[in-house]
Amino acid sequence: MTAKIHSLGGYIHEYQKSIANPEAFWAEVAEDFYWHKRCDKVLEWDFEGPSIKWFSGGKLNITENIFERNLYTIGNQPALIWEPNNPDEQSRTLTYSELYLEVNRFANSLKNLGVLKGDRVAIYMPMIPELTIAMLACARIGAIHSVVFAGFSAASLADRIIDAEAKIVLTADGGFRGEKITPLKNIVDEALQSCPGVETVIVYERTKSNIKMVEGRDIWWHKAIEGQSDECVAEEMDAEDNLFILYTSGSTGKPKGIVHTTAGYMVYSAYTFHNVFQYNAGDIYFCTADIGWITGHSYIVYGPLLNGAQTLMFEGIPTWPDAGRFWDIVDKYKVNQFYTAPTAIRSLLAMGMEHITNKDLSSLKVLGTVGEPINEEAWHWYHDHIGRNRCPIVDTWWQTETGGVMISPLPGIIPTKPSFATLPLPGIQPVIVNEVGKELTGNSVKGNLCMKFPWPGMARTIWGDHDRFRQTYFSTFRNMYFTGDGAQRDEDGYYRILGRVDDVINVSGHRLGTAEIENAINAHPLVNESAVVGYPHSIKGQGIYAFVVCGELSTGGEEGIRKSIKMAVTSMIGPFARPDLIQLVPGLPKTRSGKIMRRILRKVAEGDATNLGDITTLLDEDVVVKIIDGALVEV
Ligand code: WTA
């Protein structure tokens, strides 16, 4: 890729260029790709509609830009390096040529099973190479993949399958995670009881678990690819054809199917990977995310592979067989760029130094973090003990909706500052606005983080609900994309992300809507109502604090009901959404018009009940006193 920035001067120059003439800037970046037909127009946009189109009229296929564009030069080089859950099991490496043939073969299998361009394919798979193969095979034939994180429950999987109207599901018998096996196929079976539209399930054999194959619906992966050709002509896609859907949480209960389209996402994920990680040919790059989240989509699969990089994919968890697993992997493969989440750093920090001191981490050049604000202690630990004071940390701020990194240091180029995402990448125009949408210009300001100009990687809509897309992101502040995050711009013009300003909480880097969790709790037969807020948690960043009103207690008493509420949340959403603290309360603080005053609950959960602000509009002040009395944190 030509558009690599090498110096601070280079960054400033590129940034200015990208703002002065965004169309010319992105047209130049797009030159590097292989198009059947170049675009007629680089950008058409309107944030009112909203309607955002990049590279209109362009024709291409993203997998040709991974494979055909690169095969002559790097065909024999590793594309995907896979480290299994169990360190004693053989790892796997697929070169670009090998991955290409596997993708083609599976693409033909999908076609053979009747999958057409535009069809939605739900993917519920563990972190194995076949997950990447499945995604790319969909892209090859123009089917829209919808990857569902393999930690979601049957109910959540069913919601997502139904919303996207997927008629085929790809899964595995099970997934290894440390000492446990996730029974993926059983969960799919349960989910499909409420998804009559699903005609086919393809099952990869991974754990050799005892599962039931449903006659006429289920087919083994190895049978599906049997006899399929390893040549598959790539479907010609329009620049704005949908590439994938990825569900994320919002402030209402229903998850949002964020839609990304082909050309803009391709250009943006590739450009950002190239610059943010300063990847050089031959480097080994390791992102610890799960492909079920956007980080895995953009920075395990698409970004690295579009750059011809060697991307390492890890099946297991950071703490098994012991808390040194990440560093073993870095040592084993001589990883050069390492990208993880603050929650992982905090939990490994707490495990002590003995897992690190005897590991060779000298190959590391760049360290990255993503998903939540990184506190200074974790930043310094990462910098000192993992980077050994040699590696710049890129604190990358972005979202499922942005498709790729938006605000981040460029390593070795933009000087870092602990807990600051620093400066916007070229093409990105952040603004900070106050509550009424007035832009706060100059430095040393704090407010809501918005974007005033489109970028190629931005989401185009919410699947099946364009109006929700408009309302969520484009109606709070006029003519701006609203991120839902608060941010500060300090005296140096550096950005620091302060966290969500809406009803979304960030638990171990998992984005969860409080309403989603409340819906799950409220479905419990003994619960009348509930309110969920986040509270500071030393490892998870934010923990989940649920205030619950019960009609009566069952025989198990308070403990029993807490347990059964946790079980209910696990089965409705997944174990990662389980409340950490459940306080049974006589009532919730409400205004006279019946609105729950979450502000008060947040204060209590933060352990700061001294300054509750104005509570005169409360219907029943006594409830607040009782809540404070029974608080599960020190107030
Ligand atoms: C938060 C993950 C602080 C933020 C790529 C955002 C961050 C949400 C950072 C998106 C960061 C992400 N510093 N906060 N470097 N990166 N966030 O959609 O609140 O899972 O809105 O995308 O994570 O989460 P999502």
The stretch 68-97 carries a mean pLDDT of 97
Say if 1 falls within a structural domain.
no
Write b or e for each residue in 22-35: b if 16 or more Cβ atoms lie within 10 A of its Cβ, otherwise e: beebbbebbebbeb
Question: Ligand 1 centroid vs 269 CA: distance in angstroms?
Answer: 16
Q: Among the atoms of ligand 1, which is closest to the Cα of residue 295?
A: 5
Atom 15 of ligand 1, residue of closest alpha carbon: 397
Give the pLDDT mean for 117-132: 98
Over range 257-268, report the average pLDDT.
Answer: 98
Give yes or no: residues 143 and 212 share one domain. Answer: yes
User: What is the average pLDDT across 185-214?
Assistant: 98
pLDDT tens for residues 151-199? 999 999 999 999 999 999 999 999 999 999 999 999 999 999 999 999 9
Q: What is the ipTM of this complex?
A: 1.00
The two three-digit tokens of residue 433, written as one number: 């606005």
Counting from 1 in the atom list of ligand 1, the atom nearest the Cα of 373 is: 3
| Nearest atom, ligand 1, residue 497 CA | 3
Report the candidate in 460, 464, 399, 483 with the shortest Cα–Cα distance to residue 50: 460
Ligand 1 centroid–CA 314 distance in Å is 22
- Return the percentage of the chain with pLDDT > 90, whole number: 92
- 515 lies in the same domain as 480: no
- State whether the beta carbon of 511 lies less than 6 angstroms from ligand 1: yes
Last residue within a domain, chosen from 455, 487, 519: 487
Q: Is residue 503 part of a domain?
A: no
Question: Per-residue confidence at 613, pLDDT binned at 50, 70, 90?
Answer: confident
Interval between CA 434 and ligand 1 midpoint (Å): 20
Residue 14 has pLDDT above 80, yes or no: yes
Q: What is the number of residues in the chain?
A: 635
- For 248-291, give the secondary structure using H, E and C: ECCCCCCCEEEEEEHHHHHHHHHHHHHHHCCCCCCCEEEECCCC
Q: Are 529 and 588 in contact (CB under 8 A)?
A: yes
Rounded CA gap, 616 and 264, in Å?
50
Which residues does residue 547 pair with via DSSP β-bridges, in sequence order? Answer: 531, 583
Q: Which residues make beta-bridge pairs with 422?
A: 495
Residues 148 and 157: beta-carbon distance below 8 Å? yes
Do residue 153 and residue 84 come from a single domain? yes
Same domain, 401 and 524: no
Q: If phi over 0 gives left and psi between -120 and 50 gives alpha, with beta otherwise, what is residue 419?
A: left
Give the residue whose CA is nearest to atom 7 of ligand 1. 372
Joined together, the tokens standing for residue 298 give: 């953009």
Tokens of 275: 């610059």
In terms of Cβ atoms closer than 10 Å to its own Cβ (0-12, 13-18, 19+), residue 115 is buried
Strand-pair partners of 201: 169, 218
Residues 440 and 404 in one domain: yes
In CATH, what number is assigned to the domain containing residue 393? Answer: 3.40.50.12780
With a cut of 80, say whether residue 556 has pLDDT above it: no
Mean pLDDT of 110-114: 98
Choose one of 487, 522, 553: the last residue of a domain.
487
Same domain for 151 and 280: yes
pLDDT (tens digit per residue) in 380-425:
999 999 999 999 999 999 999 999 999 999 999 999 999 999 999 9
How confident is the model at residue 634, as a pLDDT? 86
482 and 575 both lie in a single domain: no
Rounded to the nearest whole angstrom, what is the distance from the C-alpha of residue 429 to the centroid of ligand 1? 17
Distance from Cα 398 to the centre of ligand 1, integer Å: 5
Q: Is residue 337 domain-shared with residue 404, that is, in the same domain? A: yes
> Mean of the per-residue pLDDT values for the chain?
96
**SS3 assignment, position 166:** coil
* Short-list 53, 57, 23, 65, CA closest to 37: 57
List of residues 6+ apart from 97 with CB closer than 8 A: 71, 75, 76
E strands within 165-216?
Answer: 168-172, 175-177, 180-182, 200-204
pLDDT at res. 2: 59
**Long-range contacts made by residues 12-21, C-beta under 8 angstroms, separation at least 24?**
14/426, 15/423, 15/424, 15/426, 17/426, 18/426, 18/427, 19/427, 19/429
pLDDT of residue 271: 98
- The verdict on residue 499 lying in a domain is no
pLDDT at 607: 92
Give the domain range for residue 578.
508-630
End-to-end CA distance of the chain: 55
Asked if 403 and 521 sit in the same domain, the reply is: no
| Alpha-helical runs (H) found in 336-442 | 342-349, 376-381
Give the residue-averaged pLDDT of 238-250.
96
Confidence of residue 635 (pLDDT cuts 50, 70, 90): confident
pLDDT band at 614 (very low <50, low <70, confident <90, very high): confident
| Residue 254, pLDDT score | 87
Q: Is the pTM of this model over 0.90?
A: yes
Ligand 1 mean position, distance from CA 101 (Å): 35
Q: Looking at residues 39-64, what average pLDDT do you find?
A: 98
Q: Is residue 457 part of a domain?
A: yes
In this structure, are 531 and 409 located in the same domain?
no
Q: So what's the pLDDT on residue 609?
A: 83
Q: What does the pLDDT average to over 109-135?
A: 98
> Bridge partners of 179?
none
Cis amide bond preceding 84, omega within 30: no
Return the biggest CA–CA distance within the chain: 74
114 and 22 in a common domain: yes
Q: Is 477 in the pocket of ligand 1 (CB under 6 A)?
A: no
The alpha-helical segments, DSSP class H, found in 145-276 are 154-164, 184-192, 221-225, 262-276
- Please determine, for residue 92, whether its predicted confidence score (pLDDT) is greater than 90: yes
* Nearest residue (CA) to ligand 1, atom 8: 399
Ligand 1 contacts CB of residue 274 (under 6 A): no
Atom of ligand 1 nearest to the CA of 396: 15
- In angstroms, the CA 25 to CA 268 distance is 12
Cβ(225) – ligand 1 distance below 6 Å: no
**Ligand 1 within 6 A of CB of 5:** no
Provide the pLDDT confidence category of residue 1 given band limits of 50, 70 and 90: low
pLDDT the model gives residue 298? 98
Nearest ligand 1 atom to the CA of 374 is 13
The answer to whether residue 498 is domain-embedded is: no
Q: At which residue do the structure tokens 């070229």 appear?
A: 426
Asked if the structure places residue 200 within a domain, the reply is: yes
Kindly report whether the peptide bond that precedes residue 321 is cis, defined as omega within 30 degrees of 0: yes
Residue 483 has pLDDT above 90, yes or no: yes
Considering the domain boundaries, does residue 605 fall inside one? yes
Domain boundary among 487, 516, 549: 487
Q: For the chain, what is the domain count?
A: 2
Is the pLDDT reported for residue 26 higher than 80?
yes
Q: Is 422 in the pocket of ligand 1 (CB under 6 A)?
A: no
In a domain, 493, yes or no: no
Contact of 147 with 123, CB cutoff 8 Å: yes
Query: Quick one: average pLDDT of 213-223?
Result: 98
Residues 462 and 541 in one domain: no
Q: Report, as an integer, the average pLDDT of 36-44.
A: 98
624: CATH: 3.30.300.30
The best mutation among 506, 507, 514 to test binding of ligand 1, ranked by most ligand atoms within 8 Å of the C-beta, falls on 506
Q: What is the DSSP letter of 457?
A: T
